[in-house]
Structure 1
Amino acid sequence: MTTSVDHDVSPDSSRRPPTEMVQLKHPGRVIGAVFALLLAFLLFRSFLTNENYEWEVVGEYLFNEQIMLGLGRTLILTAVAMTVGILFGIVLATCRLSENKVISLAAGAYLWFFRGTPLLIQLVFWYNLSALYPHLGISLPFGGPELWGGETNKILDLWFVALLGLSLNESAYMAEIVRGGLLAVPRQQTEAAKALGMSSWLTFRRIVLPQALRVIVPPTGNQVIGMLKHSSLVSVIALPELLYSAQLIYSQSFQTIPLLIVVALWYLLCTTVLSMIQSRIERYYGRGSHPTTPTKKSLRQRLRTRNEEVAK
């Protein structure tokens, strides 16, 4: 017995139907967004209606001469201490990676001490160094004449103590950041560069450094922002930076909250600018390092193109 099979099948029936992009429902996101907007509205209303904030006093002292001088000192402390910290951190990272065990252990001990003790204690220690060494100087060995020296309190003034404490502490963290960036570059690339006849300096400048900067730049930007805020700790040694300048004002006017708001606004402005600069630098050094994530618009375009091809 012969069974007939109908082979009259339309060619279009074998084609896949057009694919439509269906947006998934996320009720948790909606609830979270509503809660965040409600909380933001309540906080904003509190800022406007609570008279204890004294916004008129904030506006009065926002560009006060003493506040602006303190802001300038804060920016100087941040720039100088960060520059010294980066340069000394590079030296420490090189010593830490050295094959000489004595140099490597000495650098490791430095990092252990300055990363293991609070910055506030270090600043107070340098400020009171005269209790241990009333006189500082450089002289020739074996009882030779003194070449340079003086009283410790005169040598270590407020600016020197602040820059010394901030720079030494920051160099310990920058050393680990630089070391991590250098170790992130595969050793095979250095070996390949040497096989091509490139010198050590050229290999470092053209091969190692550009790749290491992708790892070094993001945490370095965070350290700059952290240094800006950590500079407020020098108020403990009475250096009139931004915070201490505000403290001097509200110790006489007793307007503590408005002056602290002024300080917070200036810190927020400076950190915002630094964050924008950091973002631009990261995009520059991160070119080609991360694959492009397709957006919803590009996905819809791909589905539309595919559906058009299927329909033909």
Structure 2
Amino acid sequence: MTRVTDAQRPTLPSTELTTPHIGRRRLSWWIWGIVGVIVVAGAIDFMVTTPGWQWNVVGAYIFDPEILSGVFYTIWLTVLSAVCGLIAGGVVAVLRMSENPALRAAGTVFVWLMRAIPALVVLLFVFFLGALVPELTLGIPYTDVTLISVKTNDVITKFTAALIGLTLIQAAHVGEIYRGGILSVSKGQHEAGGAIGMTRAQSMRRIIMPQAIRVIIPPLSNELITLFKNTSLVSVIGFTELLTSVQLVYGRTYQTIPMLLVACLWYLFLTSIAMLGQSALEKHFSRGFVRRSKVQSLEEPA
């Protein structure tokens, strides 16, 4: 029987070989941590010691009734535009994925236009629609029969123009998010639903959407959060939301910087709340799914 001497025994890799790499990595953490602390300290010092910020003015106007009114209309416009955009986006996604070439072309053209035209121009076009179409009529096409006729300017007010414009913009982006999420689910899932006797609608509701929603939630939430900031665009048509309220105040007081800071603080607050909601939604819809990285780490040998 052959005996294996100590010199012939295979040697296991020493953990000391990885120590320099770990040491260098931790050293870089310390370096970047110190750099981060210096940058944050400098930013705080700039914000506190620079007299131009006029924090006393910020404190005086942060809860001013005129500013709070603007905040209310910003939230109200955001919520309505988001709801209308989600519904309209579903219609756009259906058109884009339709088997009917005419419907698919209509959805494609709509998305193309909304992506090509700046949001500000869309809002202005909607607001000045009365210059192009003085009256909105409902009747029998190519005849003189008119059932309903109203002046365009009576319908397209500042608020309705803002709502319609933002809804059109949201519909294009949300529709593409829906479509991307549905396309992320493999074609085999559609076929599996049909194999067990489900209709196309049942398969979409019970199989496809529960899987697609995890892909849809992050970009959709980001789009809705961005909507908070996009409401500031409606100031160009004179609708009084947060930014317009701030502009009206500094137009009287000439305190531009502190009033803009008031707007920034409110936008930060509203966006932070929306981001918390996004995080909660992602956790809710990711239940029951294991991340790929975790699965791979479990499969790796110890």
After superposition, give the CA deviation of every residue in 1:173-213 in whole Å (9 maximum; x if it has no partner). 11111111111111111111211222322211111000111
Equivalent position SS for 2:137: strand
- Residue 50 and residue 196 in structure 1: after superposition, are their counterparts in 2 closer, same or farther (change >3 A)? same
Report the Cα offset of residue 289 of structure 1.
Answer: 4.3
Per-residue deviation, 1:8: 7.6
* Matched residue, 1:195: 195
SS of 1:7 mapped into structure 2: coil
Deviations 1:124-178 (A, max 9, x none): 1111112211122212334344222222211100111000000001100111111
Q: Tell me, what secondary structure is at the counterpart of 2:70?
A: helix
Q: Deviations over 1:65-99 (max 9, x none)?
A: 11111111111111111111111111111111111
> Aligned equivalents of 1:283 and 1:139: distance in 2?
50
Q: State the Cα RMSD in Å.
A: 2.7
Q: Equivalents in 2 of 1:77, 1:265: separation in Å?
A: 19
**1:290 aligned to 2:278?**
no
Within 5 Å, which residues of 2 pair with 1:203-214? Answer: 203-214=203-214
Structure number with larger C-alpha Rg: 1
Counterpart Cα distance in 2 of 1:8 and 1:276: 63
Give me the whole-angstrom Cα distance separating, in 1, the residues matched to 2:170 and 2:23.
47
Equivalenced residue count is: 295
Runs of 4+ in structure 1 deviating by more than 6 angstroms, as ranges, are none
**Separation (CA, whole Å) in 2 of partners of 1:289 and 1:198:** 27
Residue from 4, 7, 10 that aligns with 2:3: 7
Distance, in Å, in 2 between the alignment partners of 1:118 and 1:157 is: 21
Q: Which amino acid aligns with 1:267?
A: Y
Q: Whose RCO is larger (CA < 8 A, sep 6+)?
A: 1
Alpha carbons of 1:193 and 1:255: their partners in 2 closer, same or farther (altered >3 Å)?
Answer: same
AA at the equivalent of 2:58: V
Partner of 2:64: 64
Q: Deviations over 1:218-260 (max 9, x none)?
A: 1000001111100000000010000000111110011111111
The answer as to 2:157 corresponding to 1:157 is yes
Match of 2:243 in 1: 243
Matches within 5 A, 1:71-220: 71-220=71-220
Q: TM-score, normalised by structure 2?
A: 0.89
d(CA) in 2 for partners of 1:66, 1:260: 14
2:291 maps to a residue whose letter is: H
Partner amino acid for 1:250?
A: Y
Distance 1:8 1:244 in 2: 86
Question: What corresponds to 2:257 in structure 1?
Answer: 257
Note the C-alpha offset of 1:56.
0.9
The letter of the residue matching 1:202 is Q
Alignment-mate amino acid for residue 268 of structure 1:
L
Distance 1:79 1:143 in 2: 40
Distance 2:4 2:182 in 1: 68
Determine helix, strand or coil for the equivalent of 1:114.
helix
Report the residue type matching 1:62 in the other structure. I
Q: How much has 1:286 moved relative to structure 2?
A: 2.1
Residues of 2 paired with 1:198 and 1:142: CA distance? 44
Q: Establish whether residue 25 from structure 1 lines up as the match of residue 24 from structure 2.
A: yes
